[in-house]
Structure 1
């Protein structure tokens, strides 16, 4: 009876190992590589899309601030600028 138990355990472990090795081997087939690349490309596209959306929101906020200052007749000054009027960078003026 003990031998049958261990035989069953061995068969189960063997089946799991073979299945995992087969799955890993399929990742290196042309189809598996294509699937992996398409998933990676989808992630990159989603990251770029998220970045563009963030930039649009921030640009709209900045445009609203500038328009409010213009409507009041004030000079819009960026809060991130240093005291000397530069944005912390040496630029051409």
Structure 2
């Protein structure tokens, strides 16, 4: 049973290492870094949009609770 667990751990580590190596190779190309930065920028923008939407919902909730609706 122990051997099966360690085999599973080894396979999982191998898969993770392979993914990291593949990712590092794709970033080594000139367009790879641009894609990575663009993806990061898109993720940050999406997060900011979600935060703004949540803030708007919470503000409306507070206004309703305090009876300040216009």
TM-score (norm 2): 0.58
Give me the TM-score of the superposition, normalised by structure 1.
Answer: 0.45
Aligned-pair Cα RMSD in Å: 2.5
Larger-gyration structure (1/2): 1
- The unaligned stretches of length 5 or more in structure 2 are 1-17
4+ runs of 1 displaced by more than 4 Å? none
Residue-by-residue CA offset, 1:61-80 (whole Å, 9 max, x unaligned): 01111217xxxxxxxxxxxx
Gapped regions of structure 1 (runs ≥ 5): 1-16, 69-93
Q: Which has the higher contact order (CA 8 A, sep 6+)?
A: 2
